[in-house]
Amino acid sequence: MTDIQLYDTTLRDGCQAEDISFTLEDKLRIAERLDAFGVHYIEGGWPGSNPRDASFFVEIRRRTLRHAKVAAFGSTRRHGTTCDADNNIQTLLKAETPVVTVVGRAWNVPVERDLRIPLEANLELIADTVRYLTSRVDEVVFDAEHFFDGYASSPEYALACLRMAAEAGAAVLCLCDTRGGGLPDAIREATAAARAALPTPLGVHCHNDGDLAVANSLAGVQAGAVQVQGTINGFGERCGNANLCSIIAALQLKLGRICVTPDALADLQTMAHFVDELANREPDHRQPYVGASAFAHKGGLHVAAVQRHREIYEHIDPALVGNHQRVLLSDLSGRSNIIYKAREFGVDLDGTDPAIRELLAKLKELESRGYQYEGAEASFDLLMQRALHGYERRFRLIGFRCIDEKRVENEPPLSEATIMLAGPDGEIEHTAATGKGPVEALDLALRKALVKFFPEIDEVNLLDFKVRVLSSEGGTGAIVRVLIESGDAHDRWGTVGVSHNLIEASWQALVDALDYKLYKDRKRVSPSGTSAVGQGAKG
């Protein structure tokens, strides 16, 4: 039994964000994922607004949802017509959903200035529409648009709008902070007033224009709301909607209000990333609870403390929401960071080992030159293996050359890279490749040279490439840092390179990326990690 109902509007309100566009198949997959997670209501869209949403309601009826009710969304009937003659109302019924959510104005200002109808006429629209729909569908949710602004302007009228919907049979009255500018105290006060005035269950629907949508939603629950509307990852128009991921975690872990099972809560990060993936977005590392940085520690003092007692710097156990603790490496690192990271890579270090001090000094010296290992843990692992175990790369660069040539003004330039290197037994390989740019050409030439000695190089994919100028003092000759993310069928890893020369920095990161592939594959064969490393040519 749950205390709070979760009403997800990712597929409708979330799609109104300027950088979000889901295909029909995306929407169906998200709906099934939300249902499996335990969401109570899934708002599929506005069936009369576009063919994709109309198709969604047809297709979702063919899927078996075990938990969630699907809702179609629309507005009250138009002034001057009847529900029977209003195309929007009839389209809602054609969606054949068990729930219909209908939005009506609850603020006197837009009623008079936008709809330009008498206040009494708006009350009639609300009552007539809700009454008509409740006789034809299982459940009607009334979204009181601009309720909190309306309550601040004219509390009597805002409450009258709710009363009309409640008397007409609405199952839930959802109070909307439509402009997203409310403050928690005002949300709490207005929700409490609605709770005192009406027995009908209340919901809360907040936008994030003041960066308070989650706080406002929690304030609404504390004042008596039993349904929370929001979107996964906070997708939505303008600055977004209330982020259900943060709301779910806070409700369950902070307020003790049950909305999903513990197993579902532990799936929260995976579910958030699933929706990001279908939205073609990189997950926000700094997102509370589910972001990669949510439980990441960088300062040596913090790392030492969380190793003794996690709760000192972590407000919840990250495993409860499917996340995990991370320790970052930088010039702020102490010995605790090194020991912690070594454990992650399967190396148990003695805190008194002088090699740790040497490794820490090397790390800080490199970071002072611009190297950053927070997003390049593979480069750090290789650095650690060289310092502690004498690891040596299995190939040796002899030289490379990159040429950029633009032959025709209106055509793209041609990039060519030539590489000469020595393999594990000293055999020389000399190759060349072309690419859209010098980095791609260099990458292709390097792979072409290495695959002869190491066929597994073909398994590596370059997933992300970032360049950052570290100082503008040198103008176009400034130091740059290149971060590369690579992956294969088993893992993803990051590497780094730093130089005044962009190609040289890219080369460093590319070489580490491919070298790490060879290292980790050998380590998988030889789990001890030390007997299989340290052999071969120096890099």
Residue 90 has which token pair?
């009839």
pTM listed for this prediction: 0.70
Q: How far apart are CA 513 and CA 25, in angstroms?
A: 35
Q: Which CATH number describes the domain made up of 5-260?
A: 3.20.20.70
197 burial class (0-12, 13-18, 19+ CB within 10 angstroms)?
middle
Neighbour tally for 310: CB within 10 Å: 14
pLDDT for residue 465: 87
Sheet holding 492-499, edge to edge: 461-469, 480-487, 492-499
The tens digit of pLDDT for each residue in 491-512 reads: 888 899 999 899 999 999 999 9
Q: How far apart are CA 436 and CA 444, in angstroms?
A: 11
The tens digit of pLDDT for each residue in 83-130 reads: 999 999 999 999 999 999 999 999 999 999 999 999 999 999 999 999
The tens digit of pLDDT for each residue in 379-430 reads: 888 888 887 778 889 999 999 999 998 888 888 888 999 999 999 999 999 9
Q: Where in the chain is the domain with CATH 3.20.20.70?
A: 5-260
pLDDT for residue 343: 64
DSSP string for residues in 13-70: TGGGSTT----HHHHHHHHHHHHHHT-SEEEEE-TTT-HHHHHHHHHHTTS--SSPEE
CA 34 to the chain's CA centroid = 15
Q: How far apart are CA 488 and CA 204, in angstroms?
A: 44
Give the pairing of strands 428-435 and 461-469. Answer: unpaired
Residue 483, beta-bridge partner list? 466, 496
Q: Is 305 or 378 the better-scoring residue by pLDDT?
A: 378
> For 111, which DSSP code?
I
CATH classification of 395-453, choosing from 3.40.1130, 3.40.1580, 3.40.50, 3.30.160? 3.30.160
Torsion of CA 524, 526, 528, 534, to 10 degrees: -110
Please identify which residue in the block is written with the tokens 């007033």. Answer: 193
pLDDT for residue 313: 79
Residues ≥6 apart with Cβ < 8 Å to 254: none
Residue 535, beta-bridge partner list? none
The tens digit of pLDDT for each residue in 419-457 reads: 999 999 999 999 999 999 999 999 999 999 999 999 999
Q: What is the helix (H) or strand (E) element at residue 433, kind and residue range? A: strand 428-435
3-class SS at 481? strand
Q: Where in the chain is the domain with CATH 3.30.160.340?
A: 346-393+460-534
Helix ranges, 266-353 (H): 268-278, 300-308, 335-344
CATH classification of 346-393+460-534, choosing from 3.10.580.10, 3.30.160.340, 3.40.50.10260, 3.60.15.10? 3.30.160.340
pLDDT for residue 535: 36
Residue 364 has which token pair?
């800080």
